[in-house]
């Protein structure tokens, strides 16, 4: 049986994999922060102004949200994004 990591390398470019991994990391942090604060998606809607269905689609990976949407959702969770150098 082939491993997903091998199939993934055949299907996607290295850049696509990096972008996907970054998206997953950001959304995972968002979900973790929301759960740690015990805030429902509906409550996060009230705090951020981003509609609950959009938050749900972001968290499930159904959509690739705009940067401003991510920032609006992260702010009430006490989080933000930072631009840092990556090793290449």
- Rounded mean pLDDT of 60-83? 93
Residue 12 CB partners (closer than 8 Å, separation 6+): 20
Q: Tell me, which fold does domain 4-77 have in CATH?
A: 434 Repressor (Amino-terminal Domain) (1.10.260)
What pTM does this model have? 0.81
Largest Cα span, the chain: 47
More confident residue, 2 or 76: 76
| Average pLDDT score, the chain | 91
pLDDT (tens digit per residue) in 3-46: 888 878 888 888 888 888 888 999 999 999 999 999 999 999 99
* Domain ranges within the chain, ordered by starting residue: 4-77
For the chain, percent of residues with pLDDT exceeding 70: 99
User: Burial letters for 66-87: b for 16+ Cβ neighbours within 10 Å, e otherwise?
Assistant: eeebbebbbebbebeeeeeeee
């Amino acid at each position: 049986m082939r491993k997903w990591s091998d199939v993934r390398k055949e299907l996607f470019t290295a850049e696509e994999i990096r972008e996907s991994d970054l998206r997953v990391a950001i959304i995972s942090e968002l979900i973790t922060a929301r759960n740690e604060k015990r805030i429902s998606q509906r409550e996060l809607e009230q705090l951020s102004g981003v509609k609950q269905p959009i938050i749900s689609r972001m968290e499930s990976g159904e959509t690739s949200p705009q940067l401003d949407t991510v920032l609006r959702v992260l702010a009430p969770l006490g989080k933000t994004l930072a631009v840092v150098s990556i090793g290449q």
